[in-house]
Amino acid sequence: MDWLVLSDAEWMAILLSLRVSSVAMLASLPFAIGIALILARGRFWGKAVLNGIVHLPLVLPPVVTGFLLLILFGKRGPIGAFLAEYTGIVFSFRWTGAALACAIMAFPLMVRSIRLSIEAVDRRLEQAAATLGAGPVWVFLTVTLPLVLPGIIAGMILAFAKAMGEFGATITFVSNIPGETQTLSSAIYTFTQVPGGDAGAFRLTIISVVISMAALMISEMLANLAVKKMDAA
């Protein structure tokens, strides 16, 4: 069973992938909740445009998304240069850039899941809370958020799984540097490009399948739980 033992470089890729995916998932969560809330509840001009922009990474070729990120967030890009100068955050060819690419790619999935569950909330419950003395912020925190929670968790897991599998945008934006930007997917790609790399690629593939499968199953379970709760109400 020697072929199942992971090398240091492979471990590094796995841990980096987990870190990149976790950061991508957590950092985009507040934005996803905000955007989902606006899309589910807001009525304003340009809502269709906002919806389109959010979903763009889902339909664009990942390479295109990566290239756009490179232009905008690269060292000389307008946003990248600004952030580097005023906050010290650098994206290009760093693991943070990989996290950004993954977050952007996973964003539509997360927003979609949260939005659907916000739309399923019975607004009459929020009215009831208001008549009981709860202001809008309290209504959101004590009624809306708990009812949306299963959708948020499902969205997070889906986003995490998507981030684990992200390849095109990441490799375009931050390249494939072992220890810095070489994620699970990039590592598998690298293995397939060298002679005799099949065993390594296969090991990482198994791990990738296990992680993705677990994420999907948990997400499905939570979605079912949410539906049951809504029905019971």
Contacts with another protein by CB under 8 A lie at: 122, 124-125, 127-136, 138-139, 142-143, 146-147, 229-230, 232-233
What is the Cα 186 distance to its own chain's centre?
A: 17
Angle, CA of 177, 181 and 185, to the nearest 5°: 100
Give whichever of 101 and 143 is closer to another protein, judged by the CB atom.
143
Specify burial of residue 212 (Cβ count, 10 A radius: 0-12, 13-18, 19+). middle
CB of 144 to another protein, least distance (A): 11
Residue 6 CA to residue 11 CA, distance in Å, equals 6
CB of 214 to another protein, least distance (A): 26
CA distances from 109 to 64, 129, 143 (A): 18, 30, 24
Rounded to the nearest 10 degrees, the angle between the axes of helix 8-41 and helix 95-119 is 40
CB of 118 to another protein, least distance (A): 15
CB of 139 to another protein, least distance (A): 8
CB of 32 to another protein, least distance (A): 21
Residue 66 CA to residue 56 CA, distance in Å, equals 12
Residue 16 CA to residue 10 CA, distance in Å, equals 10
| Alpha helices (runs of H) in 132-165, residue ranges in sequence order | 136-139, 145-165
CB of 181 to another protein, least distance (A): 42
Residue 153 CA to residue 223 CA, distance in Å, equals 9
Residue 52 CA to residue 70 CA, distance in Å, equals 21
